Chains A and B, each alone.
Chain A
Amino acid sequence: MAKRVLMKGNIAIGEGAIKANCKAYFGYPITPQNDLTAHMSKRMVELDRVFIQSESEIAAINMVFGAALTGARAMTSSSSPGISLKQEGISYMAGCELPGVILNVQRGGPGLGNISGAQGDYFQATRGGGHGDYRTLVLAPDSVQEMYDLVQEAFDLADKYRNPVVILIDGVLGQMMEPVDLEHDVKKYKLPPKDWILDGCKTREPRSIQSLYMKEGALEEHNWKLHEKYKKMKQDIKCETQHVDDAEIVLVAFGISARVCKSAMQLARKEGIKVGLIRPITLFPFPEEEILKATEHVKKFLVVEMNLGQMVEDVKLIINSKADVHFYGRPGGGLSSQEEIVNEISRIL
């Protein structure tokens, strides 16, 4: 067996980013992701890469914008309130088609909320989050190993699509430790050349990076082009399924909620209830096919989230009355227990 190390989720993200050749990290303190900023302040400097503790999350995302437009891999991390501040920059990056990785270690909201893990930012992450008609790719790992792996893929996906990629975890995943295999095989993508960067026009004509399209029809055309790109992202949909084939009810959950659902599934199966699980790993694009396929024989779905119903809307949209869609969630940092979920399953069946 490969050598494993015990690692915190937040740190695994940092180490994965470093392995993916992230050249610059910009952050601003906020719980529960401070250990990542602290870790990067040491590691990036040791590696002679760029680390800055910025004056705000707004500045941090704009520093990512600057680093990314030179072709360097860059990232920032924060938690919910700070991610709100980054939305301006994320929208500009989407408009300018700049790659970059943004980690959201979600906490309870709205407002200052609390610092418990939560999943209240699903809408914000999957709908674009800032102003304008755009999307970001959203990845939702559910283990420390997957955090380490997916952050590496996130940089590839950002470069592949020239688009910001959001990694959506929460306080629990960020703070927990699990064994990580640092040599784990990670999917590698075929990447286009970066023939759009600004690094001085020594060997070519000057270039510009912009999201401003004032000529009549130009912005419409640009938005159509972005739209086509978002559609293409479907080729990189990721989803985990467990025991769907014989299931009488399927749980749908992402991130930490999926972990609780896995416990609930084990518990329920011990009691003879045939429970399956679909875990979207890409939240945008959303794994429509997998869910649709399940509706062919499953007539009951239970969506479990740490909010009062966000992803459930996407599930309902896809299922479109082909099966019953139920919801169980707790807001404000409340984490359901496996027993609660099994009770809910029994109530539904």
Chain B
Amino acid sequence: MQEEVIIAGFGGQGIMFMGTVLAHAAMQENKSVTFFPSYGAEMRGGTANCMIIMSDEDIGSPVVARPDGIIALNQPSADKFTRRIKEKGLLIVNSSLVTGESGRDDIKKVEVQATKIAEGLGDKRVANMVALGSYIKEVKILKLETLCKSLETLLGEKKKNLVDINIKALKDGYKL
């Protein structure tokens, strides 16, 4: 069992944090996991992405060419990565910002009003967790509970005040 996902969006949408939460939770469930971020000049122009592989076996290359799933938080990311998804793969889009057609009928597309739901919770920055919640529900590779714990660990003492709203967002995404 191996699951490969690319998470992409604008810089500032918390892309790296989403990936880190997912990777951390996978580690907590004793899976092999790799996280590979875009970095440096690649990040200029305001888009960011990270690639996560979760597996029950040792992982070879951390670079994901043909993902099982994509989480696209903005239009440019959806445009760039959708065509790479494996057949029968999964596309999760933040439909508050992504409106175009995917152009593929061989994948499952899930539309989440992530930004809108986050705004409803009082902070649009947690749109990333809404999207992550719905990804976890679709993929079922990790327990929601583990992700909540990882969130707490990663936010740490300094950002303790943000734990509740992030967990709420994650759960709302999961419930959809």
Taking the complex as a whole, does A directly touch B, i.e. does some CB pair lie under 8 Å apart? Answer: yes
- Which of A46-54, A321-329, A332-340 is the interface stretch? A332-340
Chain B interface size range: 20 to 34
Contact bitstring B18-51, A, C-beta under 8 A = 1, else 0: 0010011001001011111101111000000000
Contact B58 A262 (CB under 8 A): yes
A176 lies within 8 A of B30 (CB) = no
For residue A262, which residue of chain B has the nearest CB? Answer: B60
Judge whether A6 and B27 touch: CB under 8 Å.
Answer: yes
Pairwise interchain contact B65-A337, C-beta atoms closer than 8 A = yes
Binary contact readout A249-267 vs B (1 if CB under 8 angstroms, 0 otherwise) = 0000000100111111110
Contact status of A171 and B60, CB under 8 A, knowing A176-B34, A177-B20: no
Q: How far is the CA of A176 from the CA of B33 in the complex (A)?
A: 10
Cα-based distance from A324 to B62 in the complex (angstroms):
29
B107-121 CB contacts (< 8 Å) to partner A:
none
Q: What is the interface of chain B mostly: helix, strand, loop, or mixed?
A: mixed
Closest CB-CB distance, B21 to chain A, in whole Å? 10
Q: A115-B40, A178-B35 are in contact. Are A338 and B30 (CB under 8 A)?
A: no
A side interface size, CB within 8 A: 27
Q: How far is the CA of A115 from the CA of B60 in the complex (A)?
A: 22
- Chain A residue, CB-CB nearest to B30: A1
Q: How many A-B residue pairs have CB under 8 A?
A: 69
Residue of B nearest to A175 (CB): B39
Let me know if A4 is at the binding interface, CB within 8 A.
yes
Chain A residues with CB below 8 A from B161, complex form: none
Q: How distant is the Cα of A260 from the Cα of B36 in the complex, in angstroms?
A: 14
Q: How far is the CA of A260 from the CA of B24 in the complex (A)?
A: 23
Nearest neighbor of B52 in chain A, beta-carbon distance: A177
B27–A32 touching, CB < 8 Å: no
Residues in A with CB closer than 8 Å to B60 are 259-266, 338
Residues from chain A with a CB closer than 8 A to the CB of B34 are: 176-178
A176 touches B39 (CB 8 A): no
A residues near B32, Cβ cutoff 8 Å: 179
Bound complex: CA of A265 vs CA of B33, how far in Å?
Answer: 19
Interface residue A56 (Cβ < 8 Å from any Cβ of B) = no
Would you call B63 an interface residue if the criterion is a C-beta within 8 Å of the partner chain's C-beta atoms?
A: yes
Q: Are B41 and A172 in contact (CB under 8 A)?
A: no
A115-B42, A260-B60 given; 17 more Cβ-contact pairs under 8 Å: A6-B24, A6-B33, A6-B35, A31-B39, A114-B41, A175-B36, A175-B37, A176-B35, A176-B62, A178-B34, A259-B59, A259-B60, A259-B62, A261-B60, A262-B61, A263-B59, A266-B57
In the complex, 11 of the A-B residue pairs with CB atoms within 8 angstroms, ordered by the A residue number, are A4-B27, A6-B23, A6-B24, A6-B33, A114-B41, A172-B62, A176-B37, A259-B62, A261-B60, A266-B57, A335-B61
